[in-house]
Amino acid sequence: MKKPDFKITKKEAALDVLFYIIGCLLYSVAVTALITPNEISPGGFTGLAAAFNYLTSFPVGVAVLIINVPVIILGVVKLGGVFTVKTAVATGTLSLCLSVSELFVPAFRVNKILACVFGGILMGAGLSLCFRRGATTGGVDIIATLINRRFRYLTVGRIILLSDIIVITVASLVYKNIESGLYSVVAIYASSRVTDAVLYGADKGKTVCAVTDRPGDICKKIAVKLRRGVTKISVVGGYTGEPHSMLICTVRINEVAAVCGIIKETDPGAFTVITDAGEIIGEGFKAEY
């Protein structure tokens, strides 16, 4: 058994709990007010708990806790570490917030598209706050990590996606409506997009890579016009064996056209590749994670 690493300050722990409370409240309001009243599944263990609640009226918050407890215990035994402990705290917080929401938050039966979109937005905002502090709100991630350790060809992302597909299928059978499953996909997609936007949106950008024979001129123009740094790497053509320079420049999305314009203007024969930069940390962007 691995001993959990509790090297965390009181200030960090207090901040973690604050983020968990706010995040779980947002998620719980979304589930209680918009998602479950309109027979939509939020996915994960919460989705299973919501389906069970539909059949038996058993409290969603209590069901989430019951489902997660054995998984979290297994995670502590097999994985240990701060992540598992933080997930346990966040899961307990979510269970409490769901129980409170069921008592005080009214259910709104509205157009299902509106429920999917706005419910997904609230869920994504809540989840992102928990993710930001190094935790998740359920044991699906723990199960996915354990399976991945045993079967390396199954990535954590694929396992989580498969679990959501199973939960959505179960929800469709429980609600006896195939449309519920389709709406659930929309809600989960909206949630994931908002989560990414909150976590990485402000620092997203593009990385421009250009193989050129005029690196000096291009670097100077980018520095003067855009005030961006450029990394120069010496490369050799795999087919011709001729030496070239590869320039790597990371910029914000609205600066991509300007960089490509400079490259094309300076060296029309340059070979340029543009890729996504999910998050950028460093001078000119975000100072730290």
Which pLDDT score, from 0 to 100, does residue 120 have? Answer: 93
pLDDT at 81: 74
Torsion angles phi and psi, residue 6, rounded to 5:
-105, 30
CA torsion angle for 191, 196, 198, 204 (degrees, to 10)?
-150
Instruction: Write down the pLDDT at residue 288.
Output: 58
Q: What pLDDT does 137 receive?
A: 79
- Residue 289 to residue 275: CA distance in whole angstroms: 21
Q: How many CB atoms lie within 10 A of CB 228?
A: 18
Question: From the first residue on, what is the mean pLDDT of each consecutive set of 10 residues in the chain (289 residues)?
Answer: 56 89 94 93 91 91 91 82 84 93 92 94 91 80 81 75 89 91 92 80 80 94 90 91 93 88 93 85 66
- Cα 1 to Cα 84: distance, rounded to the nearest angstrom: 13
Count CB-CB contacts under 10 A for residue 193: 14
- How far apart are alpha carbons 170 and 222 in whole angstroms? 54
In CATH terms, the fold of domain 204-277 is: Alpha-Beta Plaits (3.30.70)
Tokens representing 76? 């502590």
Q: What is the DSSP string of 69-98?
A: HHHHHHHHHHT-HHHHHHHHHHHHHHHHHH
Q: Please tell me the pTM assigned to this model.
A: 0.74
**Inter-CA distances, 74 with 67, 78, 139, Å:** 12, 6, 10
**CB distance 27 to 137 below 8 Å:** yes
The DSSP 8-state label assigned to residue 202 in this structure reads G
Q: Where are the domains of the chain?
A: 10-201, 204-277
Question: Which structure tokens are listed for 134?
Answer: 């190094």
Q: Could you count the other beta carbons within 10 Å of the beta carbon of residue 69?
A: 15
Q: Helix (H, G, I), strand (E, B), or coil: what is residue 27? A: helix
